[in-house]
Amino acid sequence: MIPVSLDLAPFLKVRQCARLCLQTKNMGDKDKLILDEPVEEGVKPRKYGKKQKGYSQLPWYFAGGIVLFWGLLFIAVVKPLFYRLPEPLTVEDAPKGVFIAERAQANLYDFEAIGTKVVGSDGNEHKTVQFLLKELNLIKENVQTDYFDMEIDLQYAYGAYVKWNLVNMYQGIQNIVVKLTPKGSTSENYILVNSHFDSQPTSPSTGDDGHMVVSILEVLRVMSSSKQSFEHPIIFLINGSEENSLQASHGFIAYHKWAKNCKVVINLDAAGSGGRELMFQSGPNNPWLVNIYKKGAKHYFSTTMAEEIFQTGLVPSYTDFDIFVEYGDLVGLDIGQCINGFVYHTKYDRIDVIPRAALQNTGDNLLGLVRTLSNATELRNPSANPGGNTIFFDVLGLYLISYPAETGVKLNYAVAAAAIILVYVSLLRIADKSNVSSEQVLSSFVLVLVVQVVAFVLGLALPLAVAYGLDKYGFSLSYYATPSLLVGLYVCPSLLGLALPSFIYLKLKSNDKVPFAQQVQLALHGHAAVLSILCIGINYYGLRTTYVITWTLVFYVIPLAFNLLTTLHDRGFSWTGILKIVQVAPFLYNSYLFYCFIVILTPMMGRFGQDTNPDIIIGALTALGTILSMGFLILLVNMSRRSGFVLLTLFAVAAAAVSFASSDLGFPYLAKTNVQRVPYLQVRRVFYEYDGTVSKDESGYLFNFQDRRGVAPLQDSNVDLTGLVNMTSDCAKYMMCGMPLYDHRWVEAMDATMWLPRQNPVWTPAEPTLELLNKTVLADGQTIRFEFNLTCTDHTSIFIQPNEDVTVSDWSFLEEYLTTNSPPYHIYFSFGIDNTPLNFYIDFKKTDGDFNVPLYQIGISAQYMHVDGDDEAVQFAKSFPDYAVTIQWPAIYKKYVY
């Protein structure tokens, strides 16, 4: 036999193709995806027509599963970590030298029992001071005297400063100051730890700021009784007038004997109660402080985004930290309670909403920070520390990432550039594997990019449209008592806006040369390109918060690079596997971050004022969080043959939520937990004319509604609001509306205040007495000096309005105020332990020297914040529904013309 050589390869290929064709008739959809791949190197992929394109998609339930999976992941992981608190320690753990929450809680019970602690009241100036001094002396008895010296000082502060377009003047404000010094310490650079013990009217101030006060007491107790020494002396300041325009912190930093040595501050405050405390300001321009926080804190909760939001003024709060930085040139960390802000400054700020574990969380962090900072080598020569800002953020409370802002700028640009480059490489790969020109793929991508720009805009615009519509028809804040409503109102419209453009585009696209899996990939590339452009723009603008976009892009760049380095990029939907795994990280972080701000800011919307639509703020935050958490993931629903069903479901949920919000079910307030704040004054106003006659003497209630809905929620209640009118006309006619406006917030909102007259005069426990002591024409013949004695209550404002041809040339108040502000002038005067009458003078200049005519108006606004008022006022307050918390007191306004 003669052997014959045969080439069987062609026959084998035919046989293989036949087998594949036979399998195709019987295989399921899942197996058909394999046909998107080339069967052998050198064999071009199949070209699918428009009709065949759908055969490469996944089963219908896949799309719904995408949304459901990530929602469950948020509920199972993000929320538990957000609310996680440590196990509280008891006195049995005291020998370990750790913070004992049980002891702090016992102190907090006693602190709350005192009641309200308004500056000037017996509760603040006597009972609370006595309680704190007693506790401090007990601590001093147990000091390790071989290791530490402990000094206690009670400061009476007097002074004035300009802030919020007014003069803040204080008299006899009390500060309790403790100095803990290690034996043999030669350091002249002190650490300042500050909180405050005073309260707003009606509030026992258990959370704001009793929580922080007792934390300081316990930290001092632990440190002074241990044998663990440190390098730098520590000043513990518990100040007695923070709620009163931050006066006590100014009194300390400007006048106390130890203040000049204080170089760094840990400020402790609250805008909520009963959760983790947020480190929301650092520095300024001292990046080493973030490293101190990283080393010292045990339970991280911090982000650069919080710092930038707070410093824009979006948060309607202030802290002593600003005073220490502005007037003491200090640097430091600003830390505050922020969860459950619904009870903030109300009678519900009580110990029953503060779990012992929350005290442990604060105490662990504070003790660690103070110990770390008191040994910081950076304090040996503070002026030598490098400047600059820092980018910092905690990852689910488990870890803190920080790096210099300069590094952040470079990283932002680098990641955005890497994303764009890898997208471009991917486009070239798709062109090569699809047997089409790169020009065709690039031109298709330009269209995809436009589609994704539209998607991004819709993802933001649709929630804002819902927010605008609800507000327009009077349904703002409907999520206030039902936070889960935010999912339907803003998350679902955002997801719908993100997914709809690509859904329509892929349905209408007629180009059949690029496999469908790669067309979906192009959509994701388009979203990455949009984020990259946004990253570059915001980075150029200078916001450190750009890091959020950067790290979102990082977790798209990583799987894209991996897919390109392997064959997964070209094998149907195989590229989605690593993408979905890696996307867990940005989803968890971004949803955690924006959930944090929604939790913090939602209660604040209840005191944000009537001029701003709060739904726009919350809607925008929710939309941004949705875009950054789900922007890539929601596009994967297009992999399913029934992706339209998901979009329809999102629309249905959004419609149901809007329907709920615009019905009685969407009423925003609940008794005790999610209350409507109703601040008002029981007012009597008396106008004295130039000749001494009384032109007006009337009484009523002056309302300063703090949320967008204003008076509307009360109109169907039992409160008799007959005759309620806006103050716009009075504000145009009279100086300061002719009303006893309380502080700078009342002044800023005066045009929106409302007046409800009552027939009977409002009772006040006393009346301010303005006595003209002397009136003297000065030597120049154009200036006249008026000298006064004012007997008043502990919260009094003086308003001064010279006539058009008269100017104030000098006075006994701060001279700098006259050069930086215009009439009417506002002097806010308060006192603590010292009720001595106020003596002052004002010099008025009139060029013609004619002083026998009216020259100016002066108004005295006196607030009696420690009493409930007369019987009629008490009954009126009781008529409010249980979901409304009244914050009110008697006040009197006297206007004089001289």
- What is the DSSP code string of 372-441? HHTT-GGGGSGGGS----EEEEEETTTEEEEEEHHHHHHHHHHHHHHHHHHHHHHHHHHHHHTTS-HHHH
CA gap 345, 270 in Å, rounded: 10
User: Residue 740, preceding bond cis, omega within 30 degrees?
Assistant: no
Residue 346 near residue 273 (C-beta atoms within 8 A): no
Per-residue model confidence as pLDDT tens digits over 620-661: 999 999 999 999 999 999 998 888 989 999 999 999 999 999
pLDDT (0 to 100) of residue 3: 40
Q: How wide is the angle at C-alpha 154 spanned by C-alphas 152 and 156, nearest 5°?
A: 155
The answer for residues whose C-beta is within 8 angstroms of residue 769's C-beta and 6 or more apart is 790, 791, 792
Residue 44 lies in a domain: no
Which DSSP category does 208 fall into? I
Q: Do residues 305 and 412 both lie within one domain?
A: no
Per-residue model confidence as pLDDT tens digits over 247-284: 999 999 999 999 999 999 999 999 999 999 999 999 99
Bridge pairing between strands 807-811 and 838-845: antiparallel
Domain boundary among 666, 693, 716: 666
Residue 736 lies in a domain: yes
Q: Do residues 421 and 319 both lie within one domain?
A: no
Bridge pairing between strands 754-758 and 725-726: antiparallel
pLDDT (0 to 100) of residue 57: 67
Q: Do residues 429 and 372 both lie within one domain?
A: no
Per-residue model confidence as pLDDT tens digits over 793-819: 999 999 999 999 999 999 999 999 999
pLDDT (0 to 100) of residue 508: 87
Residue 340 lies in a domain: yes
Three-class DSSP labels, 659-683: HHHCCHHHCCCECCCECEEEEEEEE
Q: Do residues 184 and 202 both lie within one domain?
A: yes
Q: Of all helices (H) and strands (E), which one includes residue 125?
A: none
Q: Do residues 778 and 868 both lie within one domain?
A: yes
Domain boundary among 666, 692, 719: 666
Q: Do residues 430 and 543 both lie within one domain?
A: yes
pLDDT (0 to 100) of residue 66: 82
| Residues, the chain | 898
Q: Do residues 480 and 351 both lie within one domain?
A: no
The answer for residues whose C-beta is within 8 angstroms of residue 597's C-beta and 6 or more apart is 305, 306, 309, 621, 625
Residue 58 lies in a domain: no
* b/e per residue 873-891 (b: at least 16 CB within 10 A): beebbeebbebbbbbbbbb
pLDDT (0 to 100) of residue 28: 39
Task: Tally the domains of the chain.
Answer: 3
Residue 788 lies in a domain: yes
Q: Do residues 646 and 679 both lie within one domain?
A: no
685 exposed, middle or buried (CB, 10 Å; 0-12, 13-18, 19+)? buried
- Torsion angle of the four alpha carbons 804, 810, 811, 816, in this order, in degrees rounded to the nearest 10: 100
Given a cut of 70, the residues of the chain with pLDDT beneath it are 1-57, 60, 510-512
Domain boundary among 666, 683, 715: 666
Q: Do residues 440 and 369 both lie within one domain?
A: no
Residue 226 lies in a domain: yes
Residue numbers of the domain that contains 450: 407-666
CA gap 766, 864 in Å, rounded: 8
- Across 261-316, the runs of DSSP E, i.e. the strands, are 262-270, 277-283
Q: Do residues 354 and 421 both lie within one domain?
A: no
CA gap 881, 516 in Å, rounded: 60
Residue 402 lies in a domain: no
Q: Do residues 430 and 544 both lie within one domain?
A: yes
Residue 68 lies in a domain: no
Q: Do residues 501 and 455 both lie within one domain?
A: yes
Q: For the chain, what is the total number of helices (H) and then of strands (E)?
A: 28, 21
pTM confidence score: 0.91
CATH number at residue 131: 3.40.630.10
pLDDT (0 to 100) of residue 51: 38
